[in-house]
């Protein structure tokens, strides 16, 4: 059962890495605008104009 | 039949407005004006026509455009506007009110195809902002703004820059605190499970290991995530207020100390799971309360409405001068659609001033040479020259902002339910805790301590702290659906607490919509001219609307002009006798009762017909008048008392109506009502109501378009939802009732917990179950009850 010490250590370490990842995303402003990227992805980049309606 | 008609109607390719008969064509596409065509040509020349394929008619109408951006050449102004600059690049953020669809987003992020000096554009759609990085050596700020204006997105540039303010708000890292709390909560729950199911003797070493880990996870919860509660509780204690944060902080502290003590002395498993859960849920409650509307600003004052700079003539040359440097004696030039920034005397030109932002009155007023024109009006027509007689901050309108209502924070607010109740709650809680302590102290001192801490743990007002934010944020989104935008959640409770309503007249209870006017008569050209000339002389809003309806006729000289209050006008022009007014005045008899307001016309004893005004007053005014059983209703208006007879039926007493009120008098009237012990709600729309809105306990600005300018207030109401105001008021009261009920429910949970706690035998498991169960009950009860109340008030 002593393996549990190691496993719990691993799981906490992993969770800490995710937490650090979230901190980084928050600090670098990735959560500032949660709306526009969802629209942006639907637009063409530099294609010919789509057929006119 | 109808369908063929709509098909035939030609709409502008750019903005979708109806194209007049003499439309403008380019590339087989129709445009309503040169402005729209211009934008199309710019986009076509840059192969950006995809703009028109994502959405139909994405553009803004460009008929009126004569903005001058010369002032952006002044380095002192430029430095105030930009975010950052170095040798290679400049970064600037603009607020573009027209951003509304995916086409806007697409076009604005393709700006470097129009001008390669622009490196980077990023649009924040909800905030309607664009962040641009550009090379200032190749493109000046003025050029950039002109480019945006050319493609139909004129930035709103003002000295009180809303963007900067919003972005400068110090971020409290609530989200990060929640992340940490959630992380600890999850891990602690995992580590506590073995304890719940019991550990065999062989696994005793794990018990200590898990215990130590739990303490480790509690540290960031208490000292990082929960720190705010200690700070706030301490500040409140110093100010001798018992706020809800005090029992919360006490609960957190006791939980932590007891957990550490139990684990270190091997006497128990501690309450780490309850502690983490408590802080996690509390912080989520805080987050829910922080709803903000990015695109609406509640803090606007005259500076966000006035221009950044004004053209001043010195030595025969025009030069842009920042508003703050404008001095008495300066000679300024105001062009079409520009705003007069300071009280000034008209020196040259024909002034036709639109005071709609100041008073709500949308018909322009003509001024003669030598007359003083107050700041805030917008010139329509040719350019005029004026001499400034008062600096900007001392003008008739703007001196309002020097009033103490603007400089001092609102004291004496209506206390929220939470504030009222938490004082007693804390006292009772401490009383129970200490009596349990002293009761057990006689027999067993360790049990006394256990009972004391258990009481504080179990009675920690988690549910109480959560009921308010969850109920109020649910209410806020219901108001939001009904186009009533509240500044923050606290406003809901203020709305429930008011007992006096003060209304502004023009623009608030009236609409200046010309379509509500119909002419039930055939008028010849000459008759039109006669009616127009007579109505020109009258300040009555109905006369104003008639003038606007008839358009620009040439005014004739009017002799023997008499206006009889509440009846009509009697005038002589070119040997014609003109009578304009209500039925009794014109025809001498009272006809059948009609719902509409009518203005009858008579020239030389020939009855011509009448104008009928449908809903000249906003729809639902009669419903608001019905509120008088529960609320005091007052009206303060800057206009003369022409409309007293029309308005009187809505009010009980003539003393409730006040006319000819200056902005300062409006503010003073509100203060007078407050001194009489009333909780006053002010509903207004123009800059002249700003003082009253600020002074009142709850200021609501009514606006036709929430993106347009509205004075600083606690809430913004879309004019279309005006008639729902009584429902809003009732719903706000329901919301407070929901909070009270959920407080009752949380008390029941507390009593159940207390029955365990005072015996001193609270097991960690009971606490760990009781806390989340009560939280979930409260959250679901508040959200369901709020929706039911909203359905009942027909707001959902």
Q: Is the pLDDT of residue B542 over 50?
A: yes
A36 interfaces chain B, CB cutoff of 8 Å: yes
Is some CB atom of chain A closer than 8 A to the CB atom of B203?
yes
Is residue B2 over pLDDT 50?
no
The predicted pLDDT at position A49 comes to 52
Instruction: Count other Cβ atoms within 10 Å, centred on residue B163.
Output: 24
The alpha-carbon gap from B125 to the nearest alpha carbon of chain A, in Å, equals 5
The reply to whether A8 touches chain B by the CB within 8 Å rule is yes
- Residue B318's beta-bridge partner residues? B313
**A19 has a chain B CB within 8 A of its CB:** yes
Within 8 A by CB and 6+ apart from B732, the residues are B475, B492, B493, B495, B496
Please give the Cα distance from B586 to B609 (Å, whole number). Answer: 10
Is the residue at A19 inside a domain? yes
Which pLDDT score, from 0 to 100, does residue B133 have?
92
Instruction: Give this prediction's pTM.
Output: 0.82
| Domain presence at residue B469 | no
Count chain A–chain B contacts defined by CB atoms under 8 A. Answer: 58
Which domain does B123 fall in, by range?
70-168
Give yes or no for A31 touching B (CB within 8 A).
yes
Q: Is the pLDDT of residue B700 over 70?
A: yes
pLDDT, tens digit, 9 for 90 and up, residues B190-201: 888 888 887 777
Residues B96 and B152 in one domain: yes
Check residue B25 and give left, alpha or beta (phi > 0: left; psi -120 to 50: alpha): beta
Write out the two tokens for B385. 């020259």
Does residue A14 lie within any of the structural domains?
yes
Q: How far apart are CA B739 and CA B469, in angstroms?
A: 9
Q: Report the chain A residue with the minimal C-alpha distance to residue B205.
A: A2
pLDDT in tens, B705-740: 776 667 888 899 988 899 899 999 999 999 999 999
Q: Determine the distance in angstroms separating the CA of B124 from the nearest CA of chain A, rounded to an integer.
A: 6
**Rounded mean pLDDT, B487-496:** 89
Cβ–Cβ gap B126/A35 under 8 Å: yes
Residue B491 near residue B714, CB atoms below 8 Å: yes
Domain count for chain B: 6
Is B458 a member of any domain?
no
Q: What is the pLDDT of residues B20-57, one digit of tens each?
A: 766 678 788 888 877 788 888 888 888 888 888 888 77
Contact between chains at A5 and B209 (C-beta distance less than 8 A):
yes
Q: What are phi and psi of B723, to 5 degrees?
A: -70, -15
CB-based contact, A10 to chain B, within 8 Å? no
Q: In chain B, which residue's Cα lies nearest the Cα of A12?
A: B187
* A45 CB within 8 Å of a chain B CB: no
pLDDT band at B413 (very low <50, low <70, confident <90, very high): low
- Using DSSP bridges, classify how beta strands B344-348 and B384-388 pair: parallel, antiparallel or unpaired: antiparallel
From A31, A40, A53, residue closest to B56, measured CB to CB = A53
In a domain, B340, yes or no: yes
Are residues B632 and B705 both part of a single domain? Answer: yes
Is the same domain home to B251 and B129?
no
B50, A4: Cβ pair inside 8 Å? no
Describe chain B by its helix, strand, coil percentages, rounded to 5: 50, 15, 35
Tell whether B554 and B701 lie within a shared domain: no
State residue B5's pLDDT score: 43
Long-range contacts of B196-204 (CB under 8 A, 24+ apart): B196/B765, B196/B768, B203/A1
**Residues of chain A neighbouring B191 (CB-CB closer than 8 A):** 8
Query: For B44, which residue in chain A has the nearest alpha carbon?
Result: A49
> B794: which residues sit within 8 A by CB, 6+ positions away?
B727
pLDDT score, position B595: 57
Question: CA-CA distance, B792 to B796, in Å (whole number)?
Answer: 8
Average pLDDT, integer, range B337-341: 84
Are the Cβ atoms of A43 and B187 closer than 8 angstroms?
no
Report the residue from B49, B102, B187 with minimal CB separation from A15: B187
Q: Does A43 touch chain B (CB under 8 A)?
A: yes
The token pair at B273 is 């799971």
B289 is written with which tokens? 């309360």
Name residue, tokens 């500044």: B487
Query: Using one digit for the tens of pLDDT, what is the confidence trace for B55-88?
Result: 877 877 766 555 678 788 888 788 878 888 888 8
Residue B263 C-alpha, separation from nearest chain A C-alpha, in angstroms: 18
Does residue A35 sit within a domain? no
**Residue listed under structure tokens 């975010």:** B83
**A50 is a domain residue:** no
Name residue B366's beta-bridge partners.
B352
Task: Give the per-residue SS3 of B329-381.
Answer: CCEEEECCCCECCCCEEEEECCEEEECHHHHCCCCCEEECCCCEECCCCEECC
- Same domain? B260 vs B188: yes
Is A44 near chain B, with CB under 8 Å? yes
Q: Categorize the per-residue pLDDT at B538 as very low, low, confident or very high, splitting at 50, 70 and 90.
A: confident
Q: Which range among A11-20, B598-607, B692-701 has the greatest average pLDDT?
A: A11-20
Residue B206 is nearest to which of A4, A16, A39, comparing CB atoms? A4
Q: State the Cα–Cα distance between residues B175 and B192, nearest whole angstrom.
A: 25
A50: chain B residues, CB-CB within 8 Å = 50, 53
Pair B710, B697: CB distance under 8 Å = no
Q: Give pLDDT tens digits for B127-158.
A: 888 899 999 888 888 889 888 888 888 888 87
Task: State the Cα angle at B361 between B712 and B563, rounded to 5°.
Answer: 145
Residue A23 placed within a domain: yes
**What's the whole-number average pLDDT of chain B?**
83
Minimum-distance CB partner of A49 among B53, B180, B213: B53
Whether residue A52 lies inside any domain: the answer is no
User: Residue B3: its pLDDT value, please?
Assistant: 43
The alpha-carbon radius of gyration of chain B (Å, integer) is 33
Query: Does some domain include residue B138?
Result: yes
Average pLDDT over residues B460-466: 83
∠ Cα B719 B55 B91 (to 5°)? 80
A2 assigned to some structural domain: yes
DSSP B158: -
C-beta atoms of A19 and B203 within 8 A: no
Kindly write down the DSSP assignment for every residue of B293-305, as one continuous string.
-TT--S---HHHH
| Contact list, B49 vs chain A (CB under 8 Å) | 49
- Token pair in block for residue B285: 């409650």
Residues of A in contact with B123 (CB under 8 A): 36
B9 confidence band (pLDDT: 50, 70, 90): low
Q: Which residue of A has its CA nearest to B206?
A: A5
Task: Examine the domain organization and report whether B502 and B626 are in the same domain.
Answer: yes
Packing angle of the helix pair B272-289, B174-197 (nearest 10 deg): 150
Measured in degrees and rounded to the nearest 5, phi and psi for residue B85 equal -150, 145
What chain A residue is nearest to B113 in terms of C-alpha separation? A46
**What is the domain count for chain A?**
1
Q: How far apart are CA B100 and CA B97, in angstroms?
A: 8
Is B206 in CB contact (< 8 Å) with chain A?
yes
Residue B693 forms part of a structural domain: yes
State mean pLDDT over B638-647. Answer: 76
Domain boundary (B613, B629, B654) is at: B613
User: What would the mean pLDDT of B504-525 be, rounded to a whole number?
Assistant: 75
Both B11 and B158 in one domain: the answer is no
**A36:B203 CB<8 A:** no
Alpha carbon of B187: minimum distance to chain A alpha carbons (Å): 8
Chain B CB contacts of A44 below 8 Å? 50
User: Given pLDDT bands bounded at 50, 70 and 90, which one contains residue B223?
Assistant: very high
Q: Is residue B477 part of a domain?
A: no
For residues B429 and B456, the answer to whether their CB atoms sit within 8 Å is yes
A53: closest CA of chain B, how far (Å): 6
> Measured between CB atoms, does A20 come within 8 Å of chain B?
no
Q: Quick check: B54 and A43 CB within 8 A?
A: yes
**Is residue B452 within 8 Å of B430, Cβ to Cβ?**
no
**Which residue's entry shows tokens 């206390």?**
B415
Query: Do B704 and B685 fall within a single domain?
Result: yes
Predicted local confidence at residue B63, as pLDDT: 64
First to last CA, chain B: 36
Is B179 close to A15, i.e. CB distance below 8 A?
no
Let me know if residue B560 belongs to a domain: yes
Of B133, B168, B203, the position where a domain reaches its end is B168
Is the pLDDT at B220 greater than 90? The verdict is yes
Q: At how many degrees (to 10) do helices B204-220 and B174-197 cross?
A: 160
Nearest to B102 among A16, A19, A42 (CB): A42
B62–chain A Cβ distance below 8 A for any pair:
no
Looking at the complex, report in whole angstroms how far the Cα of residue A4 sits from the nearest Cα belonging to chain B: 9
Q: Are residues B622 and B637 in the same domain?
A: yes
Tell me the residues of chain B between 114 and 143 that have a Cβ less than 8 Å away from chain A. Answer: 123-127
Inter-chain CB proximity B126 and A33 less than 8 Å: yes
Q: DSSP string spanning B189-240? A: HHHHHHHHH---GGGHHHHHHHHHHHHHHHHHIIIIITHHHHHHHHHHHHTT
B293 touches chain A (CB under 8 A): no
| Test the A interface: residue of B46, B176, B276 with most A CBs within 10 Å | B176
**B565/B582 Cα distance (integer angstroms):** 11
B499 plus B645 within the same structural domain: yes
Q: Are residues B174 and B286 in the same domain?
A: yes
CB contact under 8 A, B183 and A23: no
Whether B109 and chain A come into contact, CB under 8 Å, resolves to: yes
**B209 interfacial to chain A (CB closer than 8 Å):** yes
Gap between the Cα atoms of B523 and B306, Å rounded? 42
Q: What is the extent of the structural domain holding A14?
A: 1-28
Contact B580, B540 (CB under 8 A): no
- Sign of CA pseudo-dihedral B540, B546, B548, B551: negative
Question: Can you spell out the DSSP letters for B768-789?
Answer: HHHHHHHHHHHHHHHHHHHHHH
Interface test with B, best of A7, A22, A25 (most B CBs within 10 A): A22
Closest-CA residue of chain B to A48: B50
Q: B287 in helix, strand or coil?
A: helix
> Tell me, what's the pLDDT at B478?
92
CA dist B469 and B110 (Å) reads 42
Nearest chain B residue to A52 by CA: give it.
B53
Q: Are residues B500 and B533 in the same domain?
A: no
Q: Percentage of chain B with pLDDT > 90?
A: 21
How far off is chain A from B13, nearest CA to CA, in Å? Answer: 12
Residue B280 lies in a domain: yes
Q: Tell me the pLDDT tens digit for each residue of A39-50.
A: 888 887 665 555
End-to-end CA separation in angstroms for chain A: 68
A49 assigned to some structural domain? no
| Mutate which: B186, B206, B287, vs A, most A CBs within 10 A | B206
């Amino acid at each position: 059962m002593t393996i549990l010490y190691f496993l719990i250590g691993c799981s906490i370490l992993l969770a800490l890495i995710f937490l650090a990842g979230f901190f980084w995303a928050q600090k670098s402003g990735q959560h500032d605008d949660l709306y526009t990227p969802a629209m942006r992805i639907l637009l063409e980049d530099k294609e010919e104009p789509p057929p006119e309606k | 039949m109808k369908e063929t008609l709509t098909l035939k109607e030609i709409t502008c390719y750019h903005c979708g407005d109806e194209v007049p008969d003499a439309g403008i064509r380019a590339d087989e596409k129709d445009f309503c004006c040169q402005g729209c065509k211009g934008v199309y040509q710019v986009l076509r020349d840059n192969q950006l026509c995809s703009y028109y394929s994502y959405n139909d008619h994405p553009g803004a109408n460009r008929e009126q455009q004569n903005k001058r951006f010369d002032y952006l050449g002044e380095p002192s102004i430029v430095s105030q506007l930009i975010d950052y600059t170095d040798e290679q690049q400049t970064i600037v953020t603009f607020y573009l009110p027209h951003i509304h669809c995916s086409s806007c987003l697409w076009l604005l992020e393709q700006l470097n195809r129009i001008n390669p000096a622009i490196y980077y554009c990023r649009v924040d759609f909800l905030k309607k902002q664009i962040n641009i990085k550009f090379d200032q050596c190749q493109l000046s700020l003025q050029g950039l703004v002109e480019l945006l204006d050319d493609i139909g997105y004129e930035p709103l540039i003002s000295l009180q820059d809303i963007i900067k303010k919003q972005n400068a708000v110090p971020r409290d890292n609530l989200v990060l605190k929640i992340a940490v709390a959630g992380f600890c909560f999850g891990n602690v729950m995992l580590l506590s499970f073995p304890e719940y199911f019991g550990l065999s003797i062989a696994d005793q070493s794990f018990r200590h290991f898990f215990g130590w880990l739990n303490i480790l996870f509690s540290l960031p919860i208490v000292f990082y995530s929960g720190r705010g509660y200690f700070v706030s509780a301490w500040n409140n204690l110093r100010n001798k207020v018992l706020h809800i944060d005090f029992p919360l902080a006490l609960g957190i502290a006791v939980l932590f100390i007891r957990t550490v003590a139990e684990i270190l002395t091997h006497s128990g498993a501690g309450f780490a799971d309850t502690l983490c859960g408590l802080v996690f849920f509390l912080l989520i409650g805080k987050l829910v309360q922080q709803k903000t509307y990015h695109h609406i600003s509640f803090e606007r004052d005259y500076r966000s409405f006035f221009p950044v700079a004004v053209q001043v003539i010195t030595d025969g040359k025009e030069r842009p001068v920042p508003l703050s440097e404008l001095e008495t004696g300066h000679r300024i030039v105001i062009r079409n659609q520009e705003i007069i920034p300071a009280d000034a005397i008209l020196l040259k030109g024909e002034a036709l001033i639109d005071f709609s932002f100041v008073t709500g009155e949308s018909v322009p007023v003509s001024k003669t040479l030598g007359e003083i024109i107050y700041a805030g009006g917008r010139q329509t027509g040719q350019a005029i020259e004026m001499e400034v007689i008062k600096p900007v901050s001392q003008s008739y309108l703007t001196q309002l902002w020097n009033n103490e209502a603007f400089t001092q924070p609102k004291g004496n607010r209506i206390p929220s339910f939470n504030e009222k109740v938490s004082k007693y709650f804390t006292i009772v809680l401490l009383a129970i805790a200490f009596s349990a302590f002293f009761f057990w102290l006689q027999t067993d001192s360790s049990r006394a301590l256990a009972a004391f801490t258990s009481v504080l743990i179990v009675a920690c007002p988690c549910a109480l702290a959560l009921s308010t934010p969850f109920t109020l944020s649910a209410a806020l989104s219901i108001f939001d659906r009904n186009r009533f935008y509240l500044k923050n959640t606290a406003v809901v409770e203020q709305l429930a607490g008011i007992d006096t309503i003060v209304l502004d007249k023009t623009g608030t209870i009236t609409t200046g919509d010309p379509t509500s006017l119909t002419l039930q008569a055939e008028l010849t050209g000459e008759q039109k001219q006669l009616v127009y000339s007579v109505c020109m002389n009258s300040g009555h809003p109905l006369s104003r609307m008639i003038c606007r309806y008839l358009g620009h006729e040439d005014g004739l000289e009017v002799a023997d002009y008499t206006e009889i209050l509440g009846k009509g006008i009697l005038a002589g022009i070119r040997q014609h006798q003109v009578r304009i007014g209500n039925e009794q005045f014109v025809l001498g008899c009272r006809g059948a009762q009609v719902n509409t307001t009518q203005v009858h016309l008579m020239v030389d004893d020939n009855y011509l017909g009448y104008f009928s005004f449908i809903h000249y007053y906003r729809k639902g005014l009669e419903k608001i008048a019905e509120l008088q059983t529960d609320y005091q209703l007052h009206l303060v208006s800057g206009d003369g008392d022409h409309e007293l007879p029309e308005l009187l039926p809505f009010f009980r007493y003539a003393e409730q109506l006040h006319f000819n009120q200056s902005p300062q008098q409006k503010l003073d009237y509100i203060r007078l009502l407050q001194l009489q012990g009333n909780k006053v709600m002010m509903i207004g729309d123009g800059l002249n109501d700003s003082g009253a809105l600020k002074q009142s306990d709850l200021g609501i600005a009514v606006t036709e378009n929430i993106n347009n300018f509205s004075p600083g207030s606690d809430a913004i109401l879309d004019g279309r939802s005006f008639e729902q105001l009584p429902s809003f008021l009732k719903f706000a009261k329901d919301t407070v009732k929901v909070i009270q009920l959920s407080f009752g429910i949380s008390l029941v949970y507390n009593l159940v917990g207390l029955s365990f706690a005072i015996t001193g035998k609270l097991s960690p498991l009971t606490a760990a179950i009781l806390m989340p169960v009560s939280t979930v009950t409260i959250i679901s009860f508040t959200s369901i009850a709020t929706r039911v109340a909203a359905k009942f008030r027909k707001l959902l």
